[in-house]
Amino acid sequence: MRDELAEYYIRRGAFLTGTFELTGGGTSDFYIDGRLIARMHAALIAEHDLLGLNATLVGPALGAVPIVTALGLELDRAFVIDRGKAKGHGRGRRFEGTFADGPRCLIIEDLITVGSTLQDTVRTLREEEGREVDTALVTVDRQEGGPEALAEMGVTVHALLTQADLRAADAAR
């Protein structure tokens, strides 16, 4: 599955090399567009029984929105989008969508670098929403310390691919 997904990213131009500015600060010599596929996420969720009963899928904006939406529909599960901050109009909500009856949440993200976005989402879900979060599923781990940072919060990160997987697939072309 890993090789197939890595090759898919390469063929679609979703793994690029160059100089790119990162959301969490700093720059990188590669760019990953992780919004491409939900079925492989669903397979990993099933393989590791990551979802459980009455859990909500949560996707931080913007990269995870198409993935969490596709997964919610594919798995027929409740899902919410984390805006990153409460909006200043309407109901002023940070999380859009409907939480499941149970308190458990599974975070879905397109990629993880140092983990700052996911740390903020986890902290807010726990402290402001009273939710339980112990697992995150990311499409690509950039291998820059994100999973380790989340582990300090008691969150295990599962990744479909790593930077090394993508570089190997790119080099094999």
| pLDDT string in tens for the chain (173-residue length) | 788 888 888 888 888 889 998 877 889 998 887 666 787 888 889 989 998 889 999 999 988 999 999 999 989 999 999 999 998 888 889 999 999 999 999 999 999 999 999 999 999 999 999 999 999 999 999 999 999 999 999 999 999 999 999 999 999 88
* pLDDT for the residue numbered 74: 87
Asked, for residue 95, whether it belongs to a domain, the answer is yes
Quote the domain boundaries for residue 156: 34-162
CATH code, domain carrying 95: 3.40.50.2020
* pLDDT for the residue numbered 35: 64
Asked, for residue 22, whether it belongs to a domain, the answer is no
Asked, for residue 27, whether it belongs to a domain, the answer is no
Asked if residue 101 lies in contact with residue 73, where contact means CB atoms within 8 angstroms, the answer is: no
* pLDDT for the residue numbered 133: 98
* pLDDT for the residue numbered 19: 94
Number of structural domains (the chain) is 1
* pLDDT for the residue numbered 9: 82
Q: How far is CA 117 from CA 4, 7, 52, 147, in A?
A: 28, 27, 24, 12
Task: State the Cα–Cα distance between residues 55 and 132, nearest whole angstrom.
Answer: 9
Asked, for residue 6, whether it belongs to a domain, the answer is no
* pLDDT for the residue numbered 13: 82
Asked, for residue 143, whether it belongs to a domain, the answer is yes
pTM: 0.86
CA-wise closest residue to 118 among 158, 164, 162: 158
Asked, for residue 51, whether it belongs to a domain, the answer is yes
Is 25 in a helix, a strand, or coil? coil
